[in-house]
Structures are given as C-alpha cells and as structure tokens.
Amino acid sequence: MPNEGRPSGEGRAIALRTRLLAAMLGPMLGAAAIIGVGGATLISDVVRRTNDRVLGGALGAIAETVQVERGEVTLDLPPAAFGMLENSERDNVYYRIAVGGTLLTGYADLPAPDPRTMPVDQPRFRFARYRGQDIRIGEVKRSLPRIADPVIVQVAETLDNRRALMHRLMIALLIGELTLVGVAILLLRPALGWSLRPLLRLRRAVEARDGGARPDFSALEAGPLPSELRPLARAFNRLLRQLDQATGGVRRFTADASHQMRTPISVLKVQIELARRGSSEAFDEIADAAQRLERLVTQLLALARAEEAGASPPLETVDLKEVSAVVVNRLINQAIQAQVELNLEASAAESYRVEAHRTLVFEILANLVDNGIRYNRPGGTVTIALAQGEDATLMTVSDDGPGIAVEHRDKVFERFFRVGGASAPDGTGLGLAIVQSAASRMGAQVEIVEGGAGTHIRVRFPRRGEDGGVGFVAEMTVSGR
C-alpha cells in the first residue's frame, strides 16, 4: 500500500518552517497595508495643506492690493502673487475679483461663492470643476470703508502639481514598504532556522536511538531547550519511562515463565514417556503436572495484569462485601477438599465501599484466601474480616496455619519466594507478589499484622470519600469439615 510504514497524516501537513513564515508574514503584510492606507491619507493631507498654504499666500497678496480711492474700488495685481503659483507641472491659474455681484476683474465664469456664507477676512478653500478640469479655489471676503457691497477675491489653480507630488510620495512609500517586507523575508528564513535549531537537536536525539541492538529508553539528552519545547521533552521522557516499564514487564514475564514452566514441562515429558511404556500411574502424574502448569500460567498472567505499566486503571466504587462473597463462593470447593472453614465477618450496618478497581481487588482477595487454604491444616479456618479504621477501610485475611516466620516477612512479597521451601505445599510463590503489585496500583497498602497464631495480612484502602451503603451479610461461614 502507498502509505504503509508512513505515520498518519505525513505528506499532508504544511512544514513547520512554512507555517511560522506564513504566521509572521501574514501580520506583517497586514500591518504594511494598514501603514500604506494611513500613509496615503497622511500624504494627501500634507500635500493639500502645503499647496493650500501657497495658494493662500497668493490670495492674501492680491487681497492686500484692493483699496478704495475716491469712492471706487481699485487694485494692483502683483506679478509675484502669480509667480508663487508657478510649478513644473504648469498648472493653470485663474482669478476673479468682484464687488457684490459686479465683476471687477478676472474670469467671470469662475464659480462664485455665496457672500452670505463667508466670514470677513478669513480665507477658505474648496474644490470645484471649471472648464472640464478639477480646480482648487482659495477665496476671501473683504469689507471696505464707504463700500456697501463686500469684495470677493478668488484665486484658483488646477491640480496637476498636487497629483504629481502625491504620486511621487505614494511611490516612495510603496517602495519603502516593499523593501521592508523583502528584507524581512530574507532575514526571517535564517532567523527561523536558528529558532528551530533546538527542535532539530531534539529530533536528532530521537533518531540517534534508532538502529540499536536493544531499544534505549533512557531520558533524551538534547541540550538546553526553550520553554516551549520543555513540556514536549518531558512528555516524551515520560513515554520512554512507560515503555521501559512495559518492556521490562514483558521481559520479566518471559524470564519468569521460561524459568518456572521448565520444571512442570519436564515432568510432563517424563510422565508421557512412562505412559507410553505402559505405566498407569503416569497418567495421575500427568494430570497433576498439567494442573500445576495451569495454575502457574494463571498466576503469571495475573501478575502481568497487576504489574501492567502505564496509567493506573480508573478507580470505581467497589463493595468489599460483595467481592468477598464472590471469592468465598469461588473457593468453596477448594476449601471443602482441604477441610478448611471459610468465614466472612462484616457489620451489616457498615458500608465497605472503596474507590478501587474491582478486578484487582478480586485478585488480591482470591490470592490471600487461596494462600490461607493451601498453607492451613485440616480443620483450620480462613477468615475475611472487614472493618472501618480512622482514615481507611480495612480488609484482613487471617488463617490459623503455621504462620510466617519473622525472618521471612520481608521476603514473602518477592516473586517465587516460598515459605518452607521444597517441603511447603504445592504453589508458585507468586500469590503475595500479585497482592502487593495490585494493591500498589490502587494506592492501597499491604501489611502483615500480629494477631496470635497463623498468618494475618491486612489491606488498607485509603478513604477518598464517604458513600452510604446498604446492609449485607453480617457473617458467612463455609465449613470444609
């Protein structure tokens, strides 16, 4: 298949460098556009104000020459006023001076203002259309002594120079922005390469683990990492630890299974050979060896489940009385055959619900009761006692067998350690190891307590919350005698 051996999504995702470049260029281009619009507005305003100042100077120079002589309005148009308006674009200049509605001089068809809307001696500017061209008009109203009508002075020019200046400034702004963006693009790629160098080191540290004869699950050494990559490195190192635990569990299970199954398999081979030679007793030995092998495999699998690496199982509400009753019913026949009495002691008024995992609680209790039956004597008793402590719910399994010597109490929770050695009852030495591993996964504690003759093993379930319960069996007794 074309995607075989390829991680999910590979070939479809955009490269991280490209993503970062786009993420940086996008806002940069947006900012450039905003600056361009703002710059264009500012340029338009500056060009207008600058040219209006020149136009206003020419208007003032002409207005100053308007005088009253012998009751009549006179003026002397200064050539310098029109010289101020000369420019390289050779804009057309127009003017108009009128007293009231009577033209004194200038272009009669130049758009005239309404004198009533104009303040006295305050120039104003406006755009207009004249002779097929856009023009800018500067105009002022003057009031002269002994003249009833106001004098309106107007000076106008076409907009070619303004447009040319604005165009040059816009081109300069655009070139500046394009230069800035281009330089930024040239500098961003090496800057991104430098920024992504810690990620490259991290990748090389991972790739260096490939190709070894044995997987290396030790923590990655990628040198100092930026704060954004530290959580990724920590999460990856946690994953490596979990993988190490998982593979370690598989290796231990394989070693334990190969070591412990060697003896019953050898017995099976010998007895099968004897059966072929006609020994009728060999079939009983074969059946016994097969039973021991079945129990060994069952306990090895239980230990593997209890020691399973990774996240702890989700906690649930477990009724210890209900699980205890199931265990008692499951082991009734074994107890009857061993002539051992099973007891379940719990108060009907108390609730023994704990936050745990039902399968693991069952494994703990089944192994403790199984040990109590196996290492007991005919006529003995195995008791499951439930009680509420100050800060924990207690589950104690007691028997009145030979007990565990003080010097062995630190070793009984080790795998394949058996009290009594070869003279001990048939077993695998895995029961208490299963109990210890399963309890630790739920945050419970296992301890051997003093209680007279026999063995007394207590499991403490921390109380994480109160939960009301219902009445159950106060005491259950199954006699094997």
Average confidence (pLDDT) over 369-375: 84
pLDDT of 115 > 80? The answer is: yes
Q: Using DSSP bridges, classify how beta strands 445-448 and 93-99 pair: parallel, antiparallel or unpaired.
A: unpaired
pLDDT of the residue at 221: 72
Please list, in sequence order, all residues whose beta carbon lies within 8 angstroms of the beta carbon of residue 94, skipping any fewer than 6 positions away: 106, 107, 110, 130, 135, 154, 155, 156, 157
Which residue is it, tokens 């039956």?
373
> Model confidence at 286, in pLDDT bands (50, 70, 90)?
confident
pLDDT band for 133, please (50, 70, 90 cuts): very high
Query: What percent of the chain shows pLDDT beyond 70?
Result: 77
* The two structure tokens encoding residue 449: 């307590």
Residues 326-355, mean pLDDT to the nearest whole number: 87
Mean pLDDT of 85-113: 88
pLDDT class for 335, splitting at 50, 70, 90?
Answer: confident
Identify which has the larger pLDDT, 31 or 273: 31
Give Cβ neighbours of residue 173 (< 8 Å, ≥ 6 apart).
36, 39, 40, 43
Higher per-residue pLDDT: 370 or 289: 370
Asked if pLDDT for residue 35 goes beyond 80, the answer is yes
Q: Return the pLDDT at 206.
A: 76
What domains does the chain contain, in order, with CATH numbers?
A: 20-168 (3.30.450), 217-308 (1.10.287), 313-462 (3.30.565.10)
Give the N- to C-terminal CA distance of the chain in Å, as an integer. 67
Q: What is the mean pLDDT of residues 163-188?
A: 90
Residue 328 identity (one-letter amino acid): V
For residue 301, name the pLDDT band (cuts at 50, 70, 90): low
In the prediction, which pLDDT does 44 show? 93
Mean of the per-residue pLDDT values for the chain?
Answer: 78
Nearest CA-CA partner of 46 in 86, 38, 426, 481: 38
Instruction: Decide if pLDDT at 322 tops 60.
Output: yes
Q: For the segment 226-249, what is each residue's pLDDT rounded down to a tens digit?
A: 777 778 778 877 887 777 777 776
Sign of CA dihedral 280, 284, 289, 290: positive
User: What is the pTM for the complete model shown?
Assistant: 0.47
Q: What is the pLDDT of residue 373?
A: 87
Report the pLDDT averaged over residues 17-41. 86
